[in-house]
Structure 1
Amino acid sequence: MIYDVYTLAAKDGAWIQVQLAIQPGYRFQWSGRKDRRSQEWPQRLHAAFRGQGWKWPARRITAMARPAEGPALGHEADLALAVGVLRGSGQWGAWPEGRGLLVGQLDLHGAVHPVPTTAPKEASAAEFAWGCVPWELKHRHFSGEAHIVGVSHLLEVEGYLRTGQAPKELPKTLRPLDWGPLPPLRLSADLTAQLEVAAAGGHPVFWMGPPGTGKTQLARALWRMNQRLGMDGPLIEPVPPKGNRIPIERWIQDAAQGHLFMDEVGEWPLKALESVRKPLEMGATPFTYSAASNPCPCGFLGHPKRRCACPVSRVEAYQRRFSAPWLDRFHLVGHVLSDPEDEMVPWEAMYFRIRQARERQKERKVGLNAYLVDDALWKTVSVSTKAWADVRNWQERKGMGERSVQAVLKVARTVADLEGLQWVQPRHIRQAVVWHWSSQGFTSKSDPWDPEDSWST
């Protein structure tokens, strides 16, 4: 099958039709307006695809530019070729009717960059049914064309083709073009999803796991993700205290618009541990926070390969240090274990989902979901009848207080925002409960629902 897309030649402003044929085999061939850099396309686009979970197909790809005469095509054809390959290989299912215009250079992160171009030879782009171009090009040449939308990333192109909703322009400080590198992390699918929810809603997280599994890296990654979302404050990592008195108010003040990470909380004196409860809840300045601990004194309780050397009595005493009121200050609890089969975190794809969820929260004008209180919480959550019944069922069986119920509702609201849904569904409640501390043991991820429970879906 032949797939057609159109692009704009940078040097002469001509509309160029790019025809793509994808067949069995393994070869890339470009004809017409050929540039010496054309053989670099498979390698560069494959790198851009991988960060989003796609790949350059192991197929024979033949691309042809028409008209073939004229100056060579360069990076301005990146986006057209990428979208054509992803559609032709079946990795993208959506495809609008009519001719599509795609212009822009892709970097290895999948971000769409503008390319210096001359003005189009034709007066307008009315012959195209839809189009995606960099924002700078949109403002320069297509400001009056509503069907030609501005984009800043390949994920925005995919979202537009799939849903028909035009992406919103972001300030340059929030665009992925200005990102520094995020740490390469291998995480389980559950922990990756939890990290995404924490960043999307500003939720506090408590991570448990053996030494060296990446708990500190997770906190730093969460902070750096928040930086790219507009919270550009510092990361505060206080030294674990040895006495009962700690300057928690100063830590919170220093972490304004940033992130407070409390490490090795299992080793803190008990009074120091309990003293952070009210300040964390009553913090006057916006900030996010997380904490981390080993599951036992030696650190290896529940480890799949190493045996715990702690007596049972020491393990029980260690775990009793974390009281229910203290754990209630954390909306999410996660287990961090190293597994060679874990996959790399797709930061770029995660960032765009988080950004869209943040936009939905911004439109409600009540702040991040983690900060919702009182009337703002109940007006914002929008829980379906079945989901609300499930919340109360869980509360009664587990004996949870209202603070725990509110934490579950806030997390469920964020999960729904990430899915782009207005109403919180039972599956969102179930996921929030699974991540709640009452469902998470130090040694295993137990299912909080009894097998005989009748659950709505």
Structure 2
Amino acid sequence: MKIMLNKTYCSAVYGINACTITVEVIVSTGLHYYIVGLPDNAVKESLRRIESAINSCQLHMPRQKIVVNLAPADIRKEGSSYDLSIAIGILASSGQITNIRLEDYLILGELSLDGSIKPIRGVLPIALQARKEGFKGIILPKANAKEAAIVTEIDVIGVENLTQVVEFLNHTVTIEPTKVNIQTFFQDDTAIYDVDFSDVQGQENIKRALEIAASGGHNLILIGPPGAGKTMLAKRLPTILPPLNMTESLETTKIHSVSGNLKAKDSLVTARPFRSPHHTISDVAMVGGGSNPLPGEISLSHHGVLFLDELPEFKRSVLEVMRQPLESRQITISRAKLTVEYPASFMLIAAMNPCPCGYFNHPEKECICGTNTVQRYLSKISGPLLDRIDLHIEVTPVLFDELSTTRSIDDSRTVRRRVIQTREIQKERFKSFPDVHCNAQMSTRLTREICQIDEAGRKLLKTAIERLSLSARAYDRILKVARTIADMENSPTIDNHHIAEAIQYRNLDRETWNGKF
């Protein structure tokens, strides 16, 4: 018997990048099935799915020795997305498919027992890698076709079952490549959000702080009693952030695609993510991980907002693992056989009560917590973590007169317009620094270079640092916030009132709170 070797191509995703896998199939004399190339259990079990799918589609499963090699052999192959590529390799090696077009396409998908093809994860990075390596197209589940079609200059062939793939490769049917109009995904307004800044009555000082945070990309913490509106304010922050550009949208979509969170109708993420994990979340769920590392909440918040409500209720270890990503804007997950990196450039917005009962330092209600109880509660948040949060804002309850006011309130679209103008100033400033996009991302060295202050400003800042016992990192945070406030006024210099306002946003460093942490 003539031994036939055929090659098909699929892809594996590691982190948010893809690696092309060559599937080599030989059908020869014998009765056994072998799959080599470091497959996991899901790949080893593929024979039963493939055999049933081939028979269900009225095709012939060879009753011979079949050897499948997944190359390169030193990379672990996980998941069920290799099913379709292996099946096509078997059919080609048994003479049921012409192999003329196999080298032109990446082929991937999970097979059901009836021959239908189920959607897979990580399609966007796979399509990007396919274009980079010069493939003509990619054959994949129809449910994933719109996501892959975001990538131009490559044919995206969406299929529903194995029969369609065989007929397409044998030239007996024509399947038109899936096309999408990327421009229809982007809307330069706040219509994609269900909430609006105008919903918030009163709290003008808090809304001012949120606008500053959005304008400079600063992290922020809200401290106040229950019912003061902390969560309501935080949920409206994404509505005033600048819209995602194409590069940011692709980066964000890749992460959500790899994690399996991308819905079929949402082939491209165009709204900034807003993630709000429960305080019982584990370390791994927050930063990512697992035997096959997947992105965690901090990466799913990339280019968006991570909101941590009831901050002291989170486990100390969960909060501490965020310290490094807050500085480097990426997270590295190391395992015995691989290391992956996920981007994690997000705005951290936290909310907390000032004490367990919620009424410490309240102007009207009396706190029933003892001093030691309050101290234990607040000490759950470490000083180094607080240092990485630029704005500390005390939220007070809204008075009835403010709730019932009928005066005009700026909506999200109006505020967002101002934020975009401020970000444009920063974009021009940092055009020679490709890794810096807003004031909050400045390094210490760049902060000292950009945020120059005069002698009066230095004296003011020195007095504040001595009285509040601020750290060197807090000093840089004040300068960055002051630079943002100056940008909002289109001021080329940082004046005293900019520094004074920035100092006011270090509430947790004040004497009332100092010593509680």
TM-score by length of 1: 0.54
Are residues 438 and 240 of structure 1, via their aligned partners in 2, closer, same or farther at CA, if it must alter by over 3 Å?
closer
The CA deviation at 1:175 is 4.9
Matched residue, 1:386: 456
How far 1:240 moved relative to its partner?
0.4
**Alignment map for 1:35-184 (pairs within 5 Å):** 173-175=187-189, 182-183=196-197, 184=199
Alignment partner, residue 279 of structure 1? 325
SS in 2 for 1:409: helix
Identity %: 30
CA contact (8 A) 1:191 1:334 kept: yes
Task: Quote the Cα distance in structure 2 between the aligned partners of 1:180 and 1:272.
Answer: 30
Residue 186 (structure 1) aligned with residue 201 (structure 2): yes
Alignment correspondent of 1:212: 227
Distance 1:441 1:243 in 2: 34
Match of 2:216 in 1: 201
Give the Cα–Cα distance (whole angstroms) in 1 for the partners of residues 328 and 367 of structure 2. Answer: 38
Cα drift, residue 352 of structure 1: 2.8
Q: What displacement does 1:370 show?
A: 0.7
Counterpart residue number, 2:410:
346
Q: Distance in 1 between matches of 2:452 and 2:188?
A: 29
Say which of 217, 238, 256 aligns to 1:223: 238
Deviations, residues 83-109 of structure 1 (Å, cap 9, x unaligned): xxxxxxxxxxxxxxxxxxxxxxxxxxx
Say whether the 8 Å CA contact 2:239–2:416 is kept in structure 1: no
Whether 1:373 and 2:443 are equivalent positions in the alignment is yes
Counterpart AA for 1:182: D
**How far apart, in 1, do the equivalents of 2:511 and 2:353 lie?**
12
Q: Which runs of 5+ in 1 are unaligned?
A: 1-170, 445-457
What stretches of structure 2 of length at least 5 have no aligned partner?
A: 1-184, 249-270, 289-295, 331-342
Counterpart AA for 2:481: V
Number of corresponding residues: 274
SS of alignment partner, residue 349 of structure 2? strand
Question: Equivalent residue of 2:361, what SS?
Answer: coil
Matches for 1:286-365 after TM superposition, within 5 Å: 286-340=345-399, 341-342=401-402, 345-347=409-411, 348-364=413-429, 365=431
CA distance in 2, matches of 1:392, 1:407: 14
Contact 2:216 2:481 in 1 (8 A): yes
Structure 1 contact 277–326 (Cα < 8 Å) conserved: yes
- Output aligned runs, 1:239-250, within 5 Å: 239-241=278-280, 247-249=286-288, 250=296
- Specify whether residues 228 and 244 from structure 1 end up closer, same or farther in structure 2 by C-alpha distance, changes over 3 A only: closer
Aligned pair in 2 of structure 1 residues 374, 383: CA closer, same or farther (>3 Å)? same
In 2, are the aligned partners of 1:384 and 1:423 still within 8 Å (CA)?
no
How far the C-alpha of 1:388 sits from its partner, in A, is 2.8
Is the 8 Å Cα contact of residues 209 and 294 (structure 1) preserved in structure 2? Answer: yes
8 Å Cα contact 1:236/1:251 also seen in 2? yes
In the alignment, the residues of structure 2 paired with residue 361 and residue 394 of structure 1 have an alpha-carbon distance, to the nearest angstrom, of 27
User: Residues 297 and 382 of structure 1: is their aligned pair in 2 closer, same or farther, counting only changes over 3 Å?
Assistant: same
How far apart, in 1, do the equivalents of 2:191 and 2:322 lie?
38
Larger-gyration structure (1/2): 2
* Cα deviation, residue 243, structure 1: 6.0
In 1, Cα distance between equivalents of 2:398 and 2:274: 27
Shift of 1:440: 4.2
Pairs within 5 Å for 1:413-452: 413-440=483-510
Distance 1:298 1:377 in 2: 39
Q: What letter is aligned with 1:241?
A: T
1:237, distance to aligned residue in structure 2 (A): 0.7
Q: What's the counterpart of residue 84 of structure 1?
A: none
